[in-house]
Amino acid sequence: MGAAAHIARPDAATRLRAAQEVRARQRRRTRLFLLAPALGIIGIFGLFPLSIALVYSFLEPGTYGGVEWVFSYDAYVQFLFERDIFDDTLSFNSAYLQIFGRSFGLAITTMIGTLILGFPVAYFIAARPPEQRNFWLFAITLPFWTNLLIRTYSMLLIVRDEGFVNLMLMKLGLISEPLEMLYTDGAVLAGLVYSYLPFMILPIYASLEKFDFSLLEAGHDLYATRTQVFRHIIIPITRPGIVAGCVLVLIPALGAYITPELLGGGKKLMIGNLIALQFGSGRNWPFGAAAALILMAVVLIALLVSLRAGASKEGGHG
Amino acid sequence: MDKLLSIFRPSTGSRELRRQPLFTGMSWLVLLFLYAPIAVLVVFSFNDNRSVVRWTEFSLRWYAAALENDDIRRSAMISIQVALSATVFSTIIATMAALATTRGGVYRGRSAAIALINQPLMIPEIVTAIATLAFFSILRQLTGVTGIGWLILAHTVFCVPFAYMPIRARLSDMSVTYEAAAADLYATPWQTFRHVTLPLLMPGVMAGAMLAFVVSLDDVIITLLVAGPGETTLPIYILGQIRRGVTPEVNAVSTILIGLTVTMVTLTFFLQRKRK
């Protein structure tokens, strides 16, 4: 009996180990089974197509859209130069650079605009008593879920020549003739700020949500002025939120399509319109793909810069 | 009364400091800025007049006109078909992924998996749209398959991260003790999931599904490029109408869409609040 138990003991240990191994394998298999559809569908239909776009950007355009499978880097050359149809010489053409320049200008101005408008709101919400915060958060998030197209359209109704703003101003006798606001950069900017403002408010609010406002009092007790308290306490605390908000606004603003289309009236093209145009009536898929990849590269750079900006803060904090 | 008296009392330092009077005013102005344009649109959809700015009389005629319009009906049906299918697929996929990223323990590649799931959020929509179009045009040629399935597939991809967020949030808030108890009572993993995890997770799943539905229903850019002939969704129809000029009919359809979104998002909001 005693001898049998002696023999059985190591056997039980190995059996236990074996059972644990089987369980671990099962867990891994379950995990893989659960993750496979998400990773598969996003990997194959979300990420992989980007490499197709890369391939397309090095091909020749088909006559009726699509591509000819002939290698060419014309799409990138076309970005800066114009090819003369007759003698094939290249001459510098800044038209596309200008579109990129305008897009960056508008996107960065949008970012600054949303920051100026959004920061006070985020701060205000965070300083509210908890039961009021929910109302404000809900009120700020709701427009974000509302159809972007419809919101842009509602903006168009407001800034048209016979729109609401002009009507009000004329009724008040401030102007006698309608101001021309639609189809200007200003209208596009207003539309972009209007569209992406919640993206700025929410992350800044998140960085302030857990903030202990009595720290301000501590600063005050140590003879810090209002401005000093703001600069040395509030700004460092909200920095990750500001960085996140800037990225969340910059990325969609750079690739905006609907806003410049409706409020810029096609005269004020942005990158997004340029890309879509190449895949539509422009029938130059390789050029559209190249423009999209250049946009993608800029977005990646912005993301990396923001990661560093966020990280340096963490370092300074510790 | 308390408020009236408080001005005679010396102010408590922190209240004073945390308050930025300028910010309060600005916040209300921002709220006005966010809602005024939508309010104008909604109000004038009930206007008995072709003009979208001059108010004459309350009327539902533009709603009647919109509901009788065959193009609107057809595109609404396509929108609902695409949004419902994409919602079902993306919610199932997202639920599975959320289980694997919250209940599967800590393992190598987990954060990479989460990053991949959120990838559609990090890329400008126009880039996703043209890349998907390029890929699908090859696949369409190779397989010879056409139809609305491609559009549903494209929608499913960008709906997954939106469905995933609330489901994952709910799962990480849920204690694992119930599931552990079920396992102790010899429930198989499937039984535990079916009778313990899923019922508790349901509010998160519903919230995820509604967000996915809203996001799919609202999509313009990807649909614009990927949709085949005859697959005009409601937003694409609206875009076409706006390009031709503003009509009160568009206001009516837009108001219906806004109403639908507001209802869904409000429900989601309360579903998520209930868990706290």
For residues A245-256, one letter each, b for 16 or more C-beta atoms within 10 angstroms of the residue's C-beta and e for the rest, the string is bbbbbbbbbbbb
Task: Find chain B residues with C-beta within 8 A of A293's C-beta.
Answer: 127
Amino acid occupying residue A127: A
Given a contact cutoff of 8 angstroms between Cβ atoms, the answer to whether A202 and A141 are in contact is: yes
Phi, psi of A260 (to 5 degrees): -65, -30
| Chain A residues closer than 8 Å to B224 by CB | 276
Rounded to the nearest angstrom, the minimum Cα separation between A3 and chain B is: 33
- Chain B residues with beta carbon closer than 8 angstroms to that of A299: 122-124
* Confidence bin at A121 (pLDDT 50/70/90): very high
Q: With beta carbons under 8 A apart, name residues in chain B contacting A292.
A: 126-127, 130-131
| Domain boundary assignment for chain B | 12-44, 63-274
Percent of chain B with pLDDT over 90: 41
Cβ-nearest to B124 among A156, A164, A295: A295
Closest CB from A49, A121, A229 relative to B131: A49
Closest CA to B134 of A67, A280, A73, A296: A67
C-alpha span between A148 and A75 (Å, rounded): 31
Residue B26 at interface with chain A, using a CB cutoff of 8 Å: yes
> What Rg, from alpha-carbon coordinates, does chain A have?
28
Contact B24 A221 (CB under 8 A): no
Q: What is the mean pLDDT of residues B19-26?
A: 82
Interface test with B, best of A23, A146, A211 (most B CBs within 10 A): A146
pLDDT of residue B52: 62
Choose the closest CB to B116 out of A42, A156, A252. Answer: A42
**Cβ neighbourhood burial of B240 (10 Å; 0-12, 13-18, 19+):** middle
- Where on the phi/psi map is residue A291: left (φ > 0), alpha (ψ -120 to 50), or beta? alpha
Task: Evaluate if residue A87 carries a pLDDT over 80.
Answer: no
Residue B158 at interface with chain A, using a CB cutoff of 8 Å: yes
Residues of chain B found within 8 Å of residue A226, distances taken between Cβ atoms: 17
Our CA-based measurement puts residue A127 at a distance from the nearest CA of chain B, in whole angstroms, of 6
The residue type found at A89 is T
User: Could you tell me where the beta strands, DSSP code E, fall in B139-254?
Assistant: none
Shortest Cα distance from B135 to chain A (angstroms)? 5
Instruction: For A14-49, write each residue's pLDDT tens digit.
Output: 888 888 888 888 888 888 899 999 999 999 998 999
Closest among A20, A25, A30, A37 to B104, alpha carbons compared: A30
Task: Could you list the beta-strand ranges (E) of B126-214.
Answer: none
Collapsed DSSP state (helix, strand, coil) of residue A155: helix
**B237 close to A153: Cβ distance less than 8 angstroms:** no
Record: contact A35-B157, CB cut-off 8 A = no
Contact A176, A170 (CB under 8 A): yes
Beta-carbon pairs below 8 A across chains A and B:
261
The strand ranges marked E within chain A are 59-61, 67-71, 81-83, 90-92
What pLDDT, on the 0 to 100 scale, is given for residue A44?
Answer: 93
How far apart, in whole angstroms, are the C-alpha atoms of residue B227 and residue A116?
38
User: What does R_g of chain B's alpha carbons equal in angstroms?
Assistant: 24
Residue B17: the pLDDT is 58
Chain A residues in contact with B158 (beta carbon < 8 A): 46
- The per-residue pLDDT for B7 is 41
The string over B62-94, giving b where at least 16 C-beta atoms fall within 10 Å of a residue's C-beta and e elsewhere, is: bbeebeebeebeebbebbeebbebbbbbbbbbb
Residue A127 has its nearest CB partner, among B19, B33, B238, at B19
Residues 6+ apart with CB under 8 A from B105: A27
Asked if B127's CB is within 8 angstroms of A157's CB, the reply is no
**DSSP states of A9-32 as a string?**
HHHHHHHHHHHHHHHHHHHHHHHH
Query: CA of B201: how far to CAs of A117, A253, A304, B98, B100, in Å?
Result: 37, 35, 35, 11, 14
Q: What is d(CA B81, CA B213) in angstroms, rounded to the nearest whole number?
A: 11
Provide CB contacts within 8 A for A273, sequence distance 6+.
A257, A260, A261, A266
| Rounded Cα–Cα distance for residues A234 and B139 (Å) | 52
Q: Check CB contact under 8 Å for B93 and A37.
A: yes
Mean pLDDT of B11-25: 64
- For residue A192 the two structure tokens come to 């972009």
Q: Residue A41's closest chain B neighbor by CA?
A: B157
Selection from B119, B129, B114, B210 nearest residue B163 by Cα: B210
Closest listed residue to residue B251, CA positions, set B1, B8, B50, B17: B50
Which range scores top for mean pLDDT: A92-96, A268-272, B232-236? B232-236
- pLDDT for B3 equals 45
Tell me: pLDDT of B106 over 80: no
Question: What is residue A82's predicted lDDT score, i.e. its pLDDT?
Answer: 80
Q: In which band, very low, low, confident or very high, does the pLDDT at B13 lie, cut at 50, 70 and 90?
A: very low
Rounded distance between C-alpha atoms, residue A199 and residue A178, angstroms: 32
Question: Which tens digit of pLDDT belongs to each residue from A208-234?
Answer: 887 877 777 777 778 877 778 778 888
What is the residue whose two structure tokens read 């313009």? B220
Mean residue pLDDT of chain A comes to 85
Could you tell me the pLDDT band of residue B148, with boundaries at 50, 70 and 90?
very high
pLDDT of residue B130: 94
The ipTM is: 0.84
Contact state of A45 with B235 under an 8 Å Cβ cutoff: no
> For the segment A250-306, what is each residue's pLDDT rounded down to a tens digit?
989 998 999 999 998 867 788 999 999 999 888 899 999 999 999 999 888 988 888
Contacts of A286 in chain B (CB under 8 A): none
- Alpha-helical runs (H) found in A84-175: 95-126, 130-145, 148-159, 164-171
Contact B220 A296 (CB under 8 A): no
- What architecture is the B63-274 domain classified under in CATH? Orthogonal Bundle (1.10)
